[in-house]
């Protein structure tokens, strides 16, 4: 949950394993509203202005990609952080900055390479 500069409240963040349907589900919206009202009771009377559904960016193994872009000089990629993107952003940025600066892949990053998806 967060409050925007204009006073609007944004709440959300469910994970429904196996749900690949892009439709907004009323039961999910209601569960978010109940959780928000439990945390902040005065929000119970505020009508919902907008509801949406989106999917977390992920890879087949639910681990991020942190690697150089194959065949392109001076280009790196980081994506697919799934539920942890915001939590590991600083660490990912640090790793990429060191890699770019030194030209050498930092220790521990190889496991997140694109090569793990090679057929």
* Per-residue pLDDT at 69 exceeds 90: yes
Beta strands in the chain (DSSP E): 2-3, 9-10, 65-68, 76-79
pLDDT, one tens digit per residue, over 24-66 is 999 999 999 999 999 999 999 988 889 988 888 889 998 999 9
- Percent of all residues in the chain with a pLDDT value above 70, rounded to a whole number: 99
**pTM, rounded to two decimals:** 0.67
Nearest alpha-carbon partner for 17 in 61, 55, 59 = 55
């Amino acid at each position: 949950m967060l409050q925007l500069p204009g006073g609007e409240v944004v709440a959300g963040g469910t994970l429904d394993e196996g749900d690949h349907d892009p439709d907004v589900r009323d039961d999910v919206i209601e569960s978010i509203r109940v959780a928000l009202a439990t945390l902040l009771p005065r929000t119970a009377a505020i009508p919902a202005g907008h509801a949406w559904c989106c999917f977390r960016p992920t890879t087949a193994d639910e681990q991020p990609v942190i690697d150089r872009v194959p065949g392109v000089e001076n280009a790196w990629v980081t994506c697919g952080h799934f539920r942890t993107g915001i939590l590991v952003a600083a660490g990912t940025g640090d790793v990429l900055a060191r890699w770019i600066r030194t030209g050498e892949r930092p220790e521990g990053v190889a496991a997140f390479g694109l090569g793990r998806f090679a057929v």
